[in-house]
Chain A
Amino acid sequence: MSSYTRMGELEIEKHTQFIMSVEKKKDFDSMVMEHLRMSGAYWGLTTLDLMGKLDAVNREEVVSWVLQCQHDCGGFSGNVGHDPHILYTLSAIQILALLDKLDTIDADKISAYIVGLQQEDGSFAGDEWGEIDTRFSYCAVCCLSILHRLDKIDVGKAISYVASCKNFDGGFGCTPGGESHAGQIFCCVSAFAISGALTHVDRDLLGWWLCERQVKSGGLNGRPEKLADVCYSWWVLSSLTIIERVHWIDKEKLKTFILDCQDKEHGGISDRPDDAVDVFHTFFGIAGLSLLEYPGLKPIDPAYALPVHVVDRLFFGQPH
């Protein structure tokens, strides 16, 4: 079988239907995801926009629900009636940026919430309960940057904390000394990129670690000895893009791997071929294909994880 006949097409229509259907599911598995609906909405909506299908969604309804998730402290929760957290605050702001509805929120209030989460050593807690993780540093920096209020936190300290999480292999973990992990690397590298601090990254060393994530099947894993997973197509690829080392992996093989993870009958993308699909992997698969410049998809910004036209609008578009 030649690679031409094997390589599938991207089933944009099917994936659109899949994303729209996720909303309506009422089974137990959907119920136990309700606390992270804000992130789920961000994944679904951004995927739709990348495929040019955002018009299928009722924007007013989405915005109204997002605003219901804001708490008095300024932070957003994953769903109505849940506790606020920096992860969902970022997802909320990303959604509003996508829908061009940032004028519906009080940016100073949200900034104050995030500023309150910064610790003495520059790290960020996820919420009032104090768990520290470089993911939260990324959430803080990305969110404030979108709100044009990055200067409200101590950026120098934030960056030096992230830099202290650099490992011997050039990678980054969740805290100093933490095992290098592609997801954490994405967060740290993107935080540097957004803050203009990429000098903290050893591009060759990290690029080498990242390109070693590509396995025989062409897919990418997140750490040594792990199986390939479509979500790493985003985290590894976006990091490689930011440090300008994408040519160190075999892009065609990766493209084929992602396409093989589609459920071509019912829509959606799974972590690896023939597994169950979900919105999370659908987003990262499509986002990865966008970075690989797959035809028919809008380009995506590797650091903000939003379509490039949205980022352009934020930084070069109408002032507000």
Chain B
Amino acid sequence: MIMVMKMASVYWLNWSDEVGFVHPSQLASFHVLEGQDTTESLVEDVQTSIAGERNLVITSEGLPFESVGVKSNLLLVDEGNTESNRGPSYDRSVFWCGDHKLAICIPALRPLFKAAKSAYLFSYRQYRILGDLSQNEDCSPYLCESGSSSETLREHRSKMDLQSVEAALLKHSKVVAILSCDYASAWNSRKQVISQKTIKEVYGAELQLSALVLSYAPKSEQAWSYRRWLIRLIINVSAKSKEPLMILERESDFLERIAEKSRMNYRAWRHRCWLVNHMSTRQVLTELLRTKRWAQLHVGDNCCFHYRRCLLLHLCRSKSSTSTENKVFSTEDFYGNFQNDTMEDWDEPFMIWKDELDWNKYLIKYYIGREALWIHRRFIFHQLIQQPRSRYSITSSTLDSDISPKKEAPTDCYSYEQLHAFLDEEFELIDMCLNVADTGFEDTTQQKEYAAMYKMWMIMQLQGINGSKELLERVEKERCNLKAMLEKVCPQRAVVWEGLFCLNQCSYVEPH
């Protein structure tokens, strides 16, 4: 396993290392492809290995493996041989290593894990003893385990040497973490050691370990949690430098690769949303552009659209904040990177949402029957009518009713006619989708159902807020037509919409 660590420490920014657990025949084929062995000899090797169920052990200088009862050492790492073309030698019936990939033969996993766990627990015990000793700082005689010696605390400690114990702990906990990715205690031991370090190469190597594990276990909760712990540490330690921003950029690349490999991975996207809190405005805009392209290739990926919602919300909040830092970003800055996007009204949160809505409409028309697109539309609609600064906000639009108190029309708002025009557009889209020609495929049925649900959503949202008498009358009219539409498109949901509309009463309330 020592070679794994060598690979990991050389390029701390290289996160393309991968681990995989493979069937023996697959392992054999890797070696054959490399031309290192003939098929016959290697297959024989592999078969002997499985048949014999040899105990494998991880060697490390100075650790007493005899005491843990392990019989034979079959993993040889010849570090002196790194100059040769073939690199370090290792047991080829168990491993294949090349091109930043490490393959481990599945039958070897169990004995490997047993040995690794023993080594890890031993090294952790040593580490804890040292830690306890250093806390009980005194010169009183310390009795070692046999009870016969009476050397002092300091003498004993010098024998153990904190550095070598730490190195052993890091080595063995790494192996355990690779073989059993959610073995939390192994990751926790690393936190104990790493939290005492301040060298950035160390953090880089740790991020690389997490990436290595995620290469074969992209849902590993511990690997993601460790990653966040590390990034928090890096941010705390290097707050003023450019380090955190660089890390975020690399994370973005890394997360996009994971998103491709592991569809709608909740933990990966959760991590990506978490990073938004630490992003600069420019990074948020970069992410928006990046994910726009990505989303168009993955229109069924609800996680990506949710991530966009996080980014857009963050942008709105930072634009509405009074901090000068957030306002300092010029049209030129923006144009420098995003040639195809128009900029005129970008400084309005309202336009951010309107832009997103228009793009969503294009996708809905082109990609029929995709739930994620309609969910995204529900959110944008909700934002547009809820936001107090939104031009479509009911609460800030002029009210024409003589019941309402006279108000001076805010200069940045449309009149209520334009609100109705917006609703017209939405209902038009819905009608278009409800009338999509039946192809006999699932997606057209789904498109109709999602359109119907969206209309239901709109009515529900509009019912819940203050509005002019005319608006409310319009909403009530649409609600009455809803039932007929729903009965036709999704009768199986009858219980639901009957329940929803029973409990929601539509009423006109005095605006405050």
Contacts and interface: CB of A to CB of B under 8 A. Distances in A.
B229 to A, nearest CB: 6
Given A129-B188, A225-B264, A225-B300, A32 B113 contact: yes
B122 to A, nearest CB: 12
A223 B225 CA distance: 22
Contacts of A24: none
B180 interface: yes
Contact of A31 (B180, B188, B495): B180
Interface in B209-265: 225, 228-229, 264
Nearest to B179: A32
A82 B113 contact: no
Interface residues of A, number: 39
Nearest to A181: B266
A82 B184 contact: yes
The secondary structure that dominates the B interface is helix
Interface string B177-192: 0011111110010010
Interface residues of B, number: 49
Nearest to B370: A225
B371 A178 contact: no
Contact of A175 (B106, B266, B274, B370): B274
B288 interface: no
A179 B306 contact: yes
A169 to B, nearest CB: 7
B302 A224 contact: yes
A247 B495 contact: yes
Contacts of A223: 264, 266, 302
A85 B184 contact: yes
A270 B391 CA distance: 50
B76 interface: no
Of B184, B185, B310, B503, the most chain A CB neighbours within 10 A belong to B184
Contacts of B135: none
B206 to A, nearest CB: 14
Nearest to A211: B496
A103 B20 CA distance: 47
B184 A83 contact: yes
A177 interface: yes
B229 A130 contact: yes
A174 interface: yes
Contacts of B371: 224-225
Contacts of B496: 207-208, 211, 248
Contacts of A320: none
A28 B313 CA distance: 45
Given A177-B273, A225-B371, A131 B185 contact: no
A28 B113 contact: yes
Contacts of B302: 179, 223-225
A195 B264 CA distance: 32
A224 B375 contact: yes
A204 B492 CA distance: 17
Given A35-B180, A129-B229, A168-B379, A177 B310 contact: yes
Interface of A: 27-28, 31-32, 35-36, 77-78, 81-83, 85, 127, 129-131, 168-169, 173-175, 177-179, 181, 204-205, 207-208, 211-212, 223-226, 245, 247-248, 250
Interface of B: 106, 109-110, 113-114, 121, 179-185, 188, 191, 225, 228-229, 264, 266, 269-270, 273-274, 300-303, 306, 310, 313, 370-372, 375, 378-379, 382-383, 453, 460, 492-493, 495-496, 499-500, 503-504
8 shortest interchain CB distances as A-B pairs: A32-B180, A28-B110, A83-B185, A28-B109, A179-B306, A224-B302, A225-B302, A224-B371
